[in-house]
Amino acid sequence: MRGKIILSAVVAAAAASLATVTASSAFADDTDDAFIGVLQDKGIPVTTSDDAIALAEAVCEYVAAGQPAEQVAVDISPANWSVEQSGLFVVAAIDSYCPS
C-alpha cells in the first residue's frame, strides 16, 4: 500500500511539472507570435523568427548590462534596417522579452 501511495505522489508531481512546462511553452509561443506579429506589422524584415527572437533576447542582455536602448538599436541594426526599424525592434524586444 505504501508503494502505491508513493507512486501516486510521484505521478502527481510529474503531471504538475508537465503542466507547468506546457503552460510555460504556451506562454513563450504566445509571446513569440505576438513579437513576430509586431515586426511584420511594422515592416521589419527578419531572416527567420528564431533569429529575431534570439536577437530580441540579446537586446535584453545589453539593456540589463546598462547599455541605453538607443545604443542597443545602433549596435544590433543590420544593414537592411532603417534607424526607425532598429528602434522599433528594440522597443518590441524590451516590451516582449525583458523582465521589468
Domain ranges of the chain: 27-97
Does residue 16 register a pLDDT over 80? Answer: no
Q: How confident is the model at residue 99 (pLDDT cuts 50, 70, 90)?
A: confident
**Where residue 13 falls among pLDDT bands split at 50, 70, 90?**
very low
**Single-letter code of the amino acid located at 97:** Y
Is this model's pTM higher than 0.75 or not?
no
d(CA 53, CA 59): 10
Task: Give the 3-state secondary structure percentages of the chain, helix then strand then coil, rounded to 5.
Answer: 80, 0, 20
pLDDT in tens, 37-89: 999 999 999 999 999 999 999 999 999 999 999 999 999 999 999 999 999 99
